């Protein structure tokens, strides 16, 4: 059963991410699909808030992985990564070893075949400047 949510502001998407964090706070993989500006990082800001992270969440596009070690949280953005890049090279394999880690991945299509099947999938769709359609489950 698909859940569909429409958000009308970034604050609403952050709130949704915060809610979602309750489901995965003991560990899990979240794949975030959607075009540029669809709201993936915004959602992750809420996710991080829900996990008790006080630091500002900025997009890891240029560094690929941002680690919040104390909270076992990893924010990954594969936008700039070559398709099917080896996960070992990226350091993701190592992160997946600990099932208590919470791992949020933007642009996961680059490595989706290699990701374990127990994962949450969230789709983001841009509708207009402030409106997004978000589906999951
Ligand atoms: N309802 C909404 N939900 C999420 N973001 C919104 C919403 N309305 C407006 N925005 C704005 O849209 C932008 C979403 O950018 P964000 O970085 O979250 O996208 P992204 O999917 O991570 O893109 P990228 O693929 O470039 O990483 C932000 O500037 C945010 O403030
Ligand atoms: Mg992003």
pLDDT for residue 60: 79
Q: Name the closest ligand to CA 131.
A: 1
Each residue's pLDDT tens digit, 91-134: 888 899 999 999 999 999 988 878 888 899 999 999 999 999 99
Which atom of ligand 1 lies closest to the CA of 32?
A: 21
> For all residues of the chain together, what is the average pLDDT?
92
For residue 1, how far is the Cα from the chain centroid? 20
For the chain, give every domain's residue range. Answer: 3-136
Each residue's pLDDT tens digit, 9-47: 999 999 999 999 999 999 999 999 999 999 999 999 999
Q: Which of 18, 37, 124 to mutate to test the pocket of ligand 1 (most atoms within 8 A of CB)?
A: 37
Question: Which residue, 42, 53, 33, 38, is CA-closest to 13?
Answer: 42
CA of 56 to the centre of ligand 2 (A): 14
Region 57-77 average pLDDT: 90
Please tell me the CATH superfamily of domain 3-136, with its number. Answer: P-loop containing nucleotide triphosphate hydrolases (3.40.50.300)
Using CA atoms, how far residue 9 sits from 6, 38, 42, 45, in Å, is: 9, 12, 10, 14
pLDDT for residue 118: 87
Residues having CB within 6 Å of any atom of ligand 1: 7-10, 12-13, 34, 36-42, 59, 79, 106, 124, 130-132
């Amino acid at each position: 059963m698909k859940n569909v949510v429409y958000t009308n502001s970034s604050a609403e998407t952050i709130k949704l991410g915060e809610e979602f964090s309750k489901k995965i706070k003991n560990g899990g993989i979240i794949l975030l699909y959607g075009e540029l500006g669809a709201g993936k990082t915004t959602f992750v800001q809420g996710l991080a808030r829900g996990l008790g992270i006080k630091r500002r969440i900025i997009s890891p596009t240029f560094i690929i992985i941002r680690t919040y070690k104390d909270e076992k949280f990893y924010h990954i953005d594969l936008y700039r990564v070559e398709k099917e890049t080896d996960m070992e090279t990226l350091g993701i394999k190592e992160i997946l070893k600990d099932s208590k880690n919470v791992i949020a991945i933007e642009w996961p299509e680059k490595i989706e075949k290699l990701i374990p099947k127990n994962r949450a999938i969230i789709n983001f769709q841009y509708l207009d400047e402030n409106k997004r359609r978000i589906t999951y489950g």
